[in-house]
Amino acid sequence: MESVCFDEKLSFKEHIHAKINKAYMMLGLIKHNFKYLTIPTFILLYNSMVRSDLGYCSSVWAPYRKGDIEALVKVQKRATKILPELKNLPYSERLKICKIPTNQPYIIDV
Least confident of 9-13, 44-48, 100-104: 100-104
Q: Hey, is 8 helix, strand or coil?
A: coil
Residue pLDDT, tens place only, 21-77 = 999 999 999 999 988 889 999 999 998 888 887 776 565 566 667 787 888 889 989
**pLDDT for res 8:** 60
pTM over 0.75: yes
- In the chain, what are the domain boundaries? 13-98
CA distance to 37, 56, 81, 102, per residue, from 89 (Å) = 17, 29, 9, 17
27 exposed, middle or buried (CB, 10 Å; 0-12, 13-18, 19+)?
buried
